Structure 1
Amino acid sequence: MAQSRSLLQTIIHAAAERLADDPCIPAENRAAFRATAVTIFEQQVSAVLGADTVRISGWIIPPSVRQDRRERIERALRDGETPKAIAGRELVSERYVRKLRAELAGAGTDAP
């Protein structure tokens, strides 16, 4: 089983993914570009912060934004999206998405 990513790793990988998906990057070069971008981001974080490991705790998100995100996640679960896909898009852990899915199932909604 793959180790879950930290918040910083999730941000780095999401940024690399978005950069690699730019239309000016040829499709055959995207995987290499993505991998290189992740490496460069990680090296820069290490160089700037002077550490191999960085722990970042979540920032405070206004309740209305949290509620909007939760509603998007619940809608995506009802639409049959996987927890992994939802977590990657919403920048939350898969565990959180699975927890919401269990809550929906326990509440008798039509979530998978």
Structure 2
Amino acid sequence: MNTFVILFRKTGPAPTDAERRQVGAEVAPWAQALNAAGHELVPHILAAQSARCGEPIADATPVTALLLLKARDLDEAARIAATHPGTRYGFALEVRPWSPPGVAAAATTAAV
């Protein structure tokens, strides 16, 4: 199994309190089922405040959460991400491979 990260961006209006509760109620059993299947989910919620360093970031839609997960490959990780309940509540999800910096740098160099 490889490690991937799902990046969450809220693309619509901020969720209402009722929507937050509903997403939470749907995410818990979704996560429990995936953890039981060996996907080892590790969620991280990002705070709204941030400090920008360097050049402005062109993407105006900030990342609101990260979810690390284990999957066989990028296709499986993307299929899992597509089932996340947040997709029904205005969250756009992006999936990327995740690896330690040395491994990622070696893979990038090998691809060139």
TM-score (norm 2): 0.26
Higher relative contact order (CA 8 A, sep 6+): 2
Hey, which of these two has a bigger chunk of strand by percent? Answer: 2
Computing the radius of gyration from Cα coordinates, the structure with the larger value is 1
Hey, which of these two has a bigger chunk of helix by percent? Answer: 1
